[in-house]
């Protein structure tokens, strides 16, 4: 886990992926900007996400709430659905932004599982409004994930 404050001093390597400071800066800023579009009249909790594909395309998303709370969608899943619906299924990183000042926000459990569907060794950049961030992998966020392998496991029935 790497934390860098404000300066984007260096790139970060996760697994066989490496993001340079410019890519990290672009994702952090894109997630902060996506947060501005959040539709959250019930929680007042804005979230933005910026997802980086292997070829360098960035897909952004924000949380969109609904009065029937279960129909709300998180920023991370919004970005992922946009990417997948455009033919992308492999990713380098996702940055997540909230308005929490004292610590980085983190994806909810449903989003962690959703991210793990596309691999465990890609980067998650958790940001703060002051543009500081922490980097970890999807596998770090959800070490005991449910996967397609579980569907193939020997079962009682």
Check if 76 is active-site.
yes
Sign of the alpha-carbon dihedral angle for 102, 49, 42, 81: negative
Which tokens is 121 given?
Answer: 């060794």
Task: Report how far residue 49's alpha carbon sits from residue 58's, in angstroms, rounded to the nearest whole number.
Answer: 10
**DSSP 8-state secondary structure symbol assigned to residue 69:** G
Select which of 9, 65, 76, 117 is catalytic.
Answer: 76
Task: Report how far residue 53's alpha carbon sits from residue 43's, in angstroms, rounded to the nearest whole number.
Answer: 30
Name the region of 15 (left: φ>0; alpha: ψ -120 to 50; beta: rest): left
Q: Which residues are catalytic?
A: 76
């Amino acid at each position: 886990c790497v934390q860098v404050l404000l300066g984007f001093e260096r790139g970060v390597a996760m697994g066989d992926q490496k993001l340079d400071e410019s890519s990290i800066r672009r994702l952090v800023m894109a997630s902060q900007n996506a947060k501005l579009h959040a539709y959250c009249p019930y929680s007042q909790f804005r979230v933005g996400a910026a997802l980086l594909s292997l070829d360098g395309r960035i897909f952004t998303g924000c949380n969109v709430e609904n009065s029937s709370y279960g129909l709300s969608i998180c920023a991370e899943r919004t970005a992922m659905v946009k990417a997948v619906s455009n033919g992308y299924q492999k990713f380098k990183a996702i940055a997540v932004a909230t308005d929490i000042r004292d610590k980085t926000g983190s994806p909810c459990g449903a989003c962690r599982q959703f991210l793990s569907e596309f691999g465990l060794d890609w980067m998650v950049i958790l940001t703060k409004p002051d543009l500081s961030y922490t980097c970890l992998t999807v596998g770090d966020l959800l070490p005991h994930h449910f996967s397609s392998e579980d569907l193939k496991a020997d079962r009682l029935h």
